[in-house]
């Protein structure tokens, strides 16, 4: 696989690379990100390999991430036109301004104008709702986004970190009203965070939405530096998740064992596992240094055997919220009573006897 092996995003005609460049690390304003110079090297490396999907947000390094991208693309109109450039709205950059963030009409329009100014472009390809506000009417948000599509200011709409029920409600309203649909989700997903398999990913598959996982290395915990076999010091500059718990360490070490079998890094295997999961369209990757980024691109060359995938699936199997686990364990048993359907066998529960129960 390569970055120019493009995939269709959800129920749309938009095609993006299998790895999307996440730019939360662009800008060292918070003391841990990449300098503008290093960020431009990462951008150039991604584009040179055929990558076309770039993701940012107004909140990333207080707007500096967007500005770095805008400065790089300024004067490169041919590159801008072939890119799928996405940014997000919701986060408030203006203390004490109640309308500075969120998904209201006033806030959305203001945030988009500011993002377009920093990005030095007339439009963004995907405009993502960054989080969930239970107070703003969803109709107001959806109608505003539809108006912005009609005005040519945005091309597509996506949701990030929004509950499945709220996303499904919004998608249904948009379809009934004939408004711009939600074509994709961003959600946290990795070997150490699989609970999206309960509601979000099945919903996306059922409603024709692409899925872009963020933090596929779980804040660096799956990078290899925390494996028990690694006796060197671990760089914890951005260790927002802390060190692995006892249960997480089992998964970290299982990943390391598979990586040794494959002859790849732990990070490459973790990324390859995420990208190979059902429902996943394009995985968000980022880095603070060009060498980290180029190493992560090596995930495109990793192929896991069925046995290796099964080992990682088993050791990281999540406990899902009701009724996901209940349905997954009992539905086939109760419905098919021992029959094999769609290639999967079932068992009968309770044990059935051959007699007529219609009495």
- Do 340 and 280 belong to one domain? no
- Do 194 and 314 belong to one domain? yes
| Catalytic residue positions, numbered | 60
Q: Is residue 216 part of a domain?
A: yes
- The string of pLDDT tens digits covering residues 266-311 is 999 999 999 999 999 999 999 999 999 999 999 999 999 999 999 9
For residue 359, the model assigns a pLDDT of: 59
Q: Is residue 248 part of a domain?
A: yes
- Do 157 and 279 belong to one domain? yes
For residue 234, the model assigns a pLDDT of: 60
For residue 259, the model assigns a pLDDT of: 98
For residue 235, the model assigns a pLDDT of: 60
Enclosing domain of residue 328: 323-359
Which parts of the chain register pLDDT below 50? Answer: none
Total domains present in the chain: 2
**Alpha carbons 61 and 32: distance in angstroms, whole number:** 10
Question: Domain containing 222 — which CATH number?
Answer: 3.20.20.100
**Alpha carbons 267 and 272: distance in angstroms, whole number:** 9
For residue 336, the model assigns a pLDDT of: 83
Helices 105-119/64-73 angle, 10° precision: 50
Establish how many alpha carbons lie within 13 A of residue 312's alpha carbon, considering only the half-sphere containing its beta carbon: 27
> Distance from first CA to last CA of the chain, Å, rounded?
59
Which three-class secondary structure state does DSSP give residue 156?
A: strand
């Amino acid at each position: 696989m390569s970055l120019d092996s493009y995939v269709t995003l959800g129920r749309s005609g938009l095609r993006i690379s299998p790895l999307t460049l996440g730019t939360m690390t662009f800008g060292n304003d918070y003391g841990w990100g990449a300098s503008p110079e290093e960020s431009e090297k990462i951008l150039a490396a991604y584009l040179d390999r055929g990558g076309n999907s770039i993701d940012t947000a107004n909140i990333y390094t207080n707007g500096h991430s967007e500005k770095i991208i805008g400065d790089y693309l300024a004067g490169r109109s041919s590159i801008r036109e072939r890119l799928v450039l996405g940014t997000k709205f919701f986060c408030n950059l203006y203390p004490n301004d109640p309308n500075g963030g969120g998904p209201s009409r006033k806030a959305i329009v203001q945030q988009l104008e500011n993002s377009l100014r920093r990005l030095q472009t007339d439009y963004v390809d995907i405009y993502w709702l960054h989080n969930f506000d239970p107070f703003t009417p969803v109709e107001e948000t959806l109608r505003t986004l539809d108006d912005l599509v009609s005005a040519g200011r945005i091309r597509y709409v996506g949701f990030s970190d929004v509950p499945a029920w709220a996303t499904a409600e919004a998608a249904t309203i948009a379809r009934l009203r004939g408004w711009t649909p939600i074509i994709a989700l961003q959600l946290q997903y990795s070997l150490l965070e699989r609970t999206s398999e309960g509601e979000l990913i099945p919903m996306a598959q059922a409603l024709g939405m692409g899925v872009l996982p963020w933090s596929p290395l779980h804040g660096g915990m799956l990078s290899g530096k925390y494996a028990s076999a690694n006796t060197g010091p671990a760089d914890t500059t951005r260790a927002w998740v802390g060190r692995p718990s006892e249960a997480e360490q089992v998964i970290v070490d299982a990943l390391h064992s598979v990586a040794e079998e494959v002859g790849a890094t732990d990070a490459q295997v973790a990324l390859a596992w995420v990208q190979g999961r059902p429902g996943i369209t394009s995985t968000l990757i980022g880095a603070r240094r060009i060498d980290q980024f180029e190493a992560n691109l090596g995930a495109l060359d990793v192929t896991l055997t069925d046995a290796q995938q099964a080992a990682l699936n088993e050791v990281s199997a999540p406990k899902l919220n009701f009724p996901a686990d209940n349905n997954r364990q009992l539905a086939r048993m109760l419905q098919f009573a021992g029959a094999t359907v769609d290639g999967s066998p079932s068992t009968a529960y309770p044990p059935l006897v051959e007699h007529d129960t219609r009495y």
